[in-house]
Amino acid sequence: MQNGLYVALSSQIALENRLNTIADNVANANTVGFRATGVKFEDLVHGTGEKAMDFVTQGNTYLSTETGPLRQTENPYDFAIRGDGWFGISTPAGTIMTRDGRFTMLETGALVTVEGYPVLDAGGAAIVLDPREGAPTAGADGTLRQNGQLAGAIGLFEFDPGPNFTRYGNSGVVPDTPPQPLVDRSDVGVVQGFVEDSNVNPVKEMTRLIMVQRAFDNAAALIRESEASYSDAIKTLGSR
C-alpha cells in the first residue's frame, strides 16, 4: 500500500535535482562562457509482473554542447572560440577548461584570466608575451603576434565532461581525463575582440521551472492520497 509513497518520493528527489540545475542556469544567464546544465533521468524497475514498480533515478547531470552567442567587445584581449573547443587555464585545482576568453596581460607579460589564472598554450605551458609590445594580434588558429613577430599561441583543447561533471568557478569545468590539444583543425579557431555569452535561455528555463513545480505538486498530492489511504486502512483494521 505504501508503494505510491515510494514512487512519489523518488519523483520528488529527482525533481529537486532538476530544480537545482534550473536555478544554477538562471543565476548564470549572464555569465560569460557559461554552458547550461541538463539532467537525464532513467527509470528503475523494482519487482516483476504485477508487483513491478517504476522508480526514477536522481538523474545524471550533463553539460550542454550548444554554443552561446558571440558578442563583440573590440577588446584585443577578449577571445571567443569558434567551434567545439575549450581554453585551458592553470588554477590551484589544476588545469581547468573554460569558454570564458576575457584575458589580460600583466606587467610581466603573462596572459591571464580575469581571476588572474595563467592561460595555457597547446603544450600546457603558461603564455608569456612581451609587455613592451602591447596587445597581440591573434590568428584564426590562436597564434599570437606582436609587432608582426610570433609571440605565442592560445591553446585549444577538447575533453569529455562526462556525467555529473564538476564545475570550477562560474564557467570553468574540471576535466576527469587529461584534455587533448586541438591542432590543425579547420573547424575550431579563435576570434579576437569577441566573447561568448552564456548559452542559457532564460525563457526556456522559466518554462521548465513551471513544469517542475507542477510535477512536484502532483507528486505531493499523490503522497497525501497514499497517506490518507494508509491511515484509513489502519483505522479499519484496528477497529476489528
Number of other CB atoms surrounding residue 20 within 10 Å: 13
Cell of 61: 547531470
Nearest alpha carbon to residue 179 among 196, 162, 198: 162
Nearest alpha carbon to residue 197 among 2, 3, 83, 35: 35
Nearest alpha carbon to residue 103 among 145, 83, 75: 75
Under 8 Å between Cβ of 174 and 94: yes
- The pLDDT mean for the chain works out to 85
Q: Where are the domains of the chain?
A: 3-64+200-238, 70-196
Strands (E), the chain: 37-40, 43-46, 53-56, 60-63, 70-72, 79-82, 86-91, 94-98, 103-105, 111-113, 137-138, 143-146, 149-153, 156-158, 166-168, 172-174, 180-181, 189-192, 194-196
Reported as a single tens digit per residue, the pLDDT across 174-212 is 999 999 999 888 899 999 999 999 999 999 998 988 887
Q: Is the pLDDT of residue 238 over 90?
A: no
pLDDT of 218:
74
CA–CA separation, 161 and 10 (whole Å): 26
Under 8 Å between Cβ of 164 and 59: no
Cell of 118: 595563467
Among 54-58, 87-91, 185-189, where is mean pLDDT lowest? 54-58
Reported as a single tens digit per residue, the pLDDT across 137-154 is 999 999 999 999 999 999
In the chain, what is the straight-line distance between the N-terminal and C-terminal CA atoms, in Å? 19
CA–CA separation, 33 and 70 (whole Å): 10
Local structure of 228: helix, strand or coil: helix
> Where does residue 97 rank: exposed (0-12), middle (13-18), buried (19+ CB within 10 A)?
buried
pLDDT of 9:
62
The predicted model scores a pTM of: 0.80
